[in-house]
Structure 1
Amino acid sequence: MTQLPASIDDTITLLAGQNYIAGRDLGTVAFLALKLGKPLFLEGEAGVGKTEIARALSLALGRRLIRLQCYEGLDASSAIYEWNFAAQMVAIRTAEAVGQTDRAALRTELSSDEFLIRRPLLEALEPQPEGPPVLLIDEIDRTDEPFEAFLLELLSDYQVTIPELGTIKAVEPPIVILTSNRTREVHDALKRRCLYHWVDYPGFQRELSILRARVPEATEKLSAEIVAFVQGLRGEDLFKSPGVAESIDWARALVALDAVALSPDLITDTVGAVLKYQDDIARIAGAETTRLLDKAKAELAAVG
């Protein structure tokens, strides 16, 4: 198990060791979250690296990654715990078969740890051989407000209450990262318990560094043209602008085709790796593709 970083620079270096290129602003808030033991709430467009930072921290620190993927209708039984009703019914039938009449003892047995099914939030509070885990609560904005209320106790005191068993508290708090694509506003009560950071699209140089780290087999020219073209796309009126994840996917697709530079035909053939909506693809088709590529190459020429 790797020790927690001692400074902002150490945090940035730690993440870079997992090919996660963080700016100083993100490095600072990540360091503070680790140092202070506070949850980190990351908000931003899809594909900018919010989820990936949890994976990078898990690998860099040698900690287990426990992920709760949020969705509409998520409740405590799916996120925290539930009882193994099938096993409880077997225990009841067995007790009846052997003539057990002590109802209080049977009730206590059925509410014991043996019949408890641990879901991600409860798992994250339990001791792990490698140290406190990294708990990723991904896309919290997809849930509803009642579920947010379940999280308040966890994020405040790193504990959950199970009526039949009482309060279960972490001996050492997990490293908690929450992400949101901002499809709806998350309640202030939850945000107040976290350190907050908006993860924006990276600038040209940082995105180029990310691409070089994640797809080192791409040529320098191809990587630069991909970043310039994608950043140009983000300036267009698209339904969904491509994130860094799409830049990486596109670079890998182009490398698989042995491409060394972009061309209008190559972009047309592979645009599905970077744009995910037909209206957006149609918007940049034909002459628009050539215009955007020429613009990207002109900008690259201007910066040398």
Structure 2
Amino acid sequence: MGSSATPGSPDALADLLEGTGYLSDTGVATAAFLALRMRRPLFCEGEPGTGKTALAVALADGLGLPLIRLQCHEGIDSAQALYEWDFPRQLLHLRALEAAGDGALEVDAAERSLYTERFLLARPLLRALTTAPCVLLVDEIDRADDEFEAFLLELLDENAVTIPEFGEVRAETPPLVVLTSNRTREVHDALKRRCLYHWLEHPDLPREIAILRGRLPGIGERLAGQIADAVRRLRGLELLKPPGVAESLDWGRALLALGREELDAASAAATLGAVLKYSEDLDRARSGLDALLSRER
């Protein structure tokens, strides 16, 4: 990505992100700015719901670039991430050639015609190499296995890939790569060394209030403060899945949909399903609603 597209400072990038609705702290803005300026992948690690994926979306939106997302999962392989050949269309093409030649095929010419861009199904990584410039989000890399991690490392080093039947595909402009991890397993040092690293924390109370007020038009300062404070207390409990910012926003939307202007015990009990997703977590929260809603501010 050319430096002309890069905001001139971390503060300028923070302002750009804020224009998309993403409120970054100084650490996030600086890490993202350096990734842009140094043309290095950005490896974002942290608890679920801390804004890792949203950062990549906001960067693409703010910079006016296409976002290409690769969602990693257990068992993902290079074919799913890079490319596949469209075998059904290739078969139809062969049949058309046979029909045109009255059943006779010139084998070498037919084979060459099969392996062209027309029949190449580009998956996210190949699309990122051929879409210049763009933001490539490799989401939850910790869910993939070691073999895929090694493959990804090689591709990031070269910004190119060789397709045996087709040839080399090289990025004219390397994508801005954002990798995320929820740390379900440790990602190898070789991949981390290739990247700039940033650990994302949940936002502090004032920033979470600002996020709620910025993303939910019509929410009052009192309700936003009550939600942010209650969510902060929920994160301090031993929950199976502590709520992230997305759950804070869902809670706010649920309360606004019910016409609530403040968070009391009755409205909290009725809407906890917007913020907690396990029955055990719901039981734990409901058993301590008074403590959850008491505010010391």
Query: TM above 0.5, one fold?
Result: yes
The reply on whether 1:55 has 2:70 as its aligned counterpart is no
When normalised by structure 2's length, the TM-score is 0.94
Aligned AA for 1:133?
C
Report the counterpart of residue 47 of structure 2 in structure 1. Answer: 45
The separation in 2 between residues aligned to 1:167 and 1:188, in whole angstroms, is 28
Report the Cα offset of residue 136 of structure 1: 0.9
Shift of 1:95: 3.2
Query: Under a length normalisation based on structure 1, what TM-score does the superposition of the two structures give?
Result: 0.92
1:137 matches 2:141: no
Aligned length: 293
Which residue does 1:28 correspond to in 2?
Answer: 30
How far is the alpha carbon of 1:160 from its aligned partner? Answer: 1.5
Which of 105, 109, 128 is the aligned partner of 2:109? 105
Letter in 2 for 1:74: I
Residues 243-265 of structure 1: CA deviation (Å, up to 9, x unaligned): 11111110111111111111111
Deviation at 1:39, TM superposition (A): 0.9
Query: Post-superposition shift, 1:100?
Result: 4.4
5 Å-filtered alignment, 1:141-290, equals 141-286=142-287, 288-290=288-290
Q: Secondary structure at the match of 1:74?
A: coil
**Structure 2 residue 14 is matched with structure 1 residue 15:** no
Q: Which amino acid aligns with 1:125?
A: L
Q: What amino acid is aligned across from residue 113 of structure 2 in structure 1?
A: E
Report which stretch shifted further, 252-261 or 89-98.
89-98
Q: Which amino acid aligns with 1:158?
A: N
Superposition deviation, residue 204 in structure 1: 1.0
Distance (whole Å) between structure 1 residues aligned to residue 98 and residue 271 of structure 2: 65
Aligned counterparts of 1:96 and 1:284: Cα–Cα separation in 2: 69
2:85 aligned partner:
83
Separation in structure 2 between the aligned mates of residue 148 and residue 161 of structure 1, nearest angstrom: 18
Partners of 2:264 and 2:46 in 1: CA distance: 31
Equivalence for 1:293: 293
Q: Distance in 2 between matches of 1:233 and 1:127?
A: 42
Give the superposition deviation at 1:235.
1.1
Alpha-carbon distance, 1:93 to partner: 2.5
Q: How far apart are 1:3 and its partner, in Å?
A: 2.7
Cα-Cα RMSD: 1.6
Task: State which drifts further: 180-189 or 29-38.
Answer: 180-189
The whole-number CA distance in structure 2 between the counterparts of 1:260 and 1:274 is 18
Aligned to 1:94: 96
CA distance in 2, matches of 1:100, 1:31: 59
Distance 1:276 1:87 in 2: 43
CA-to-partner distance for each residue in 1:199-248, whole Å, 9 max, x for gaps?
A: 11111111111111111311110111111111011111111111111111
Query: Unpaired segments of 5 or more residues in structure 1?
Result: none
Using the alignment, how far apart are the partners of 1:209 and 1:127 within structure 2?
35
Shift of 1:102: 3.0
SS at match of 1:284: helix
Indicate the SS of the match to 2:43.
strand
Q: What amino acid does structure 1 have at the position aligned with 2:23?
A: I
Tell me: CA distance 1:87–1:27, structure 2 relative to 1, closer, same or farther (3 Å). Answer: same
Report the alpha carbon displacement of residue 16 of structure 1 after superposing the two structures with TM: 0.6
Pairing 1:126–2:144 present: no
SS in 1 for 2:178: strand
- Which amino acid counterpart does residue 115 of structure 1 have in structure 2? F
CA distance in 2, matches of 1:10, 1:145: 37
Change (3 A) 1:227 1:172: same
SS of 1:173's partner is coil
Aligned-pair CA distance for 1:196: 0.9
1:14-50: CA deviation from partner (whole Å, max 9, x where unpaired): 1011110100001000000011111111111111111
